[in-house]
A and B are shown apart, each in its own frame.
Chain A
Amino acid sequence: MIQAELNEILSDPLESTRQLSREGRRVIGYCDNYVPEEFIHAMGMVPVRLMGSAEHITLADSHLPIFAGQLSRSIFDQGLRGKLGHLAGVVLSNSSDAIRTLFDLWERHIPGQWVGLVDVPAVLQGETNRRVFGSAMLRFIEQLEKFGGHSLDPAELRRSIAVYNENRRLLKKAASLLGSRKLNADTYLDAVLSGFLMPKERHNGLLLQLLENAGTGQAGPDLLPLHISGPLLVDRSFLPLLEQCGATMTSEDLGTGSRYFWDEVSETGDPVAQVIDRYWNKVPESYKTPMEPRWLHFSARLGTGNAKGAIFVVERYSDEDQYDYPIFRDRLQQRGIPSLQLDAEFVLESEQARTRVQTFVEIVKGRVS
């Protein structure tokens, strides 16, 4: 029942967000884990994640080189083709040179649509960067207030924080059930991804139902437990492929997974300051430095899932993740944990990917037995 609902939402992500617009909601598209959704939510808008697509690019290539990557190219292509016209606005960031360029391009070529920028430092240490991080977030609030036509109400923000924290707690619960194999990996992924496309209140309801029913569809014990890492995993065919190869995901530190929801906002004190603190202290993404807190999160998640190996799903031209892979691979090797990097351009389902995963699973199984 729940799975069917998740399927419907994810079968056409853009249509799901269009439906929200038809319901009269002001929907804001964003594409980075450093966009403070609580602020958008508290302004009475619905933040939804721009996931891009694997579709053929038509218009965006007149503005961006291929090596800008599929995510930014496909999002901009959707924008130019009017596929995001139902959005009241778009919020971009400096998460990569390509996404930051997208902000400039959006202003130049899609002038009728509001575009905001979260321009926070990439360096998450030092007093200066901490102060500047906070100021950049406050400037984002100013942009939102100007666009929304009213001030951010602290009471509304407290309510939004509570909603988002509940969502994070439920997703963490789902992650723990994934680790103990009481929740199938593909159901888990669908549960996480669907949350990017609907109001969090509704998502919380779905998660509650899902968690109540968890444990009925257990993964087979003979499947090899693996950890999945990477900036984004939106190809829903990958986890079934993994299972066909004799393995399953028991933990992850995906940008569209636990790195997104792991950290909560403190519900005491000044709510604006607490939201800023949360984003400053959250598990850092690959485009932030230093990398050690991300490695610690990666290690902890991998341990919880008792994973015997790790697969890094890395988007082509996602340079930040490509630099990290050899480092993480070597550190894992020192702990006797094998790993595999799979290059993706949104889609992972291919014969080549299947062969590589199959071979990897066999190697890891050989080491375990």
Chain B
Amino acid sequence: MSTQTKKGRALNSSYQAGNILKEYWEDAARHQAEGRPIAWVSGNVPIELFWSMGVFPVYPENYSAIIASIQRAQEFCEEAEQRGFSNDLCSYSRVNLGIILGKGIKDPGLPFGGIPRPDMLITTRIPCLIQVKWWEAVREFFKVPLFVVDATMIDLPVKEHQRQHYLGQIRELIPIMESKLGVRFQEDKFLEALKLSDEAAGLWLDLLDTRAAVPSPVGSREMCGNVFPLVAMLGSSRPIAFFKQLLEEARECVKAGKGAVENEKIRLGWDNIPMWYNLKFFSDVEDQNIIFTYETYLKYVWGGRMDLSDPWTAFANKHLDVWLNYSIDQRVRTLLSDIPKFKLDGFVFHENHSCKRFAMGQKDAAVAIQEKLGVPSLFIHSDMADPRAFSEGQSRVKMEAFIELLQAKKK
């Protein structure tokens, strides 16, 4: 999502990411101009449902990340804070509320001409409870219907009662969308959307798997820029062609032994949402023959595979099986399995002030991977969108010391 480019992409197809993002926001505006419904949604909502019903899912979270990447988050955070929203609150929400309560969502100075007005608000507790509170604040302004899909945290495999909880709410949501938004649910279209979603997710996960190769074909900075279609477009055909091209290229790189970083020496993993205003953090590391080649945020937050022989069960499983909804034990088990697979030498935990659910349990995970795998970790204290929480000098010093430790360990 960053617009900053320091050096070329490892995969040529990655250059399409910016266009896809632009098209998405332009399509949203066009959809509204044509009188069709817009829902403001959040991460981990039942996205396939919206695409299949002709409801355009607009992601203010993504918009906040864009604002952060163009170095404008602070002004909107401050706007929200002046209106009484604490600076301890999620920075995505502060950016969004700052836009709404400041010059408004149609301010011509905003990227892509602003954010289309919502006809409905749909969110879920799957990533966090905060999202629900954010949407309540947004509803206070727009006075449109709000639906929240609830879920309790899971240990895999997902339990039947959790699945039924999820699906029961989806069955309630559908007629509400039909009556409030004037759309119609058609199961065949929904099942088609699930197929498209699963195909895209399969390609994405295969792409991530290519990064287990040594050297890794593509690093975190580039992949963070490529993830958007997985967040917002699952259930439409758009992500498939893009991910297919990325995967083909990555496989060619692996076959040719071509890495994203020359002379790759150290491999790292990353936990939590990146600092969108400072994706350079990743590329600065790459300059030192080090690559970030694994991210919990890219692997376990957005797209899961579905066994479509039982589509509704698969749909529920996929949406509940999300890192942010995992217990600490589940997170630890997952890392203990993935770190050897991706041959990681070290792990960086972003103790993200704004994504508390993500940050809970990180310290236990760090201890577990050190004790069980001998893999050391580093904590960076910062924020995903608010640059005021990031201390450049302190983080650089910590990172340098960590790299020295890993280099010494490798010798």
Contact = CB atoms under 8 A, between A and B. Distances in A.
Interface of A: 62-65, 67-68, 94, 96-98, 100-101, 104-105, 108, 119, 121-123, 126-129, 131-132, 135-136, 286-287, 289-291, 316-317, 319-320, 322-327, 329-330, 341, 343
A153 B199 CA distance: 53
A34 to B, nearest CB: 13
Interface string B135-147: 0110010000010
Contacts of A329: 84
B265 to A, nearest CB: 31
B168 A64 contact: no
A101 B358 CA distance: 11
Given A319-B130, A327-B136, A129 B361 contact: no
Contacts of A131: 168
Given A320-B133, A327-B136, A123 B125 contact: yes
Contacts of A330: 140
B329 interface: yes
Given A122-B150, A123-B125, A323-B89, A97 B137 contact: no
Given A122-B125, A123-B150, A324-B133, 15 more contacts: A62-B363, A65-B351, A94-B152, A97-B130, A108-B328, A119-B153, A129-B150, A135-B161, A286-B133, A289-B148, A319-B86, A319-B89, A319-B90, A319-B130, A325-B86
B401 to A, nearest CB: 20
A317 B357 CA distance: 12
A132 B132 contact: no
A322 B89 contact: yes
Among B129, B353, B357, B364, chain A packs the most CB atoms within 10 A around the CB of B129
Contacts of A324: 133, 136
A104 B329 contact: yes
Contacts of B84: 325-326, 329, 341
Contacts of A94: 152-153
A128 B168 contact: yes
Nearest to A128: B168
24 contacts: A65-B362, A68-B356, A68-B360, A94-B153, A97-B356, A98-B360, A101-B361, A108-B364, A121-B150, A121-B152, A123-B150, A127-B172, A128-B168, A128-B169, A131-B168, A132-B164, A289-B136, A290-B136, A317-B356, A319-B129, A320-B130, A322-B88, A323-B137, A330-B140
A287 B356 CA distance: 15
Among A65, A100, A290, chain B packs the most CB atoms within 10 A around the CB of A65
Interface residues of B, number: 43
B328 A105 contact: yes
Given A67-B359, A123-B150, A289-B136, A316 B88 contact: yes
Contacts of A316: 88
B125 to A, nearest CB: 5
Nearest to A135: B161
B282 interface: no
Among A63, A104, A123, A329, chain B packs the most CB atoms within 10 A around the CB of A104
A131 B150 CA distance: 13
Contacts of B129: 96-97, 122, 287, 319-320
A207 to B, nearest CB: 34
A324 B125 CA distance: 17
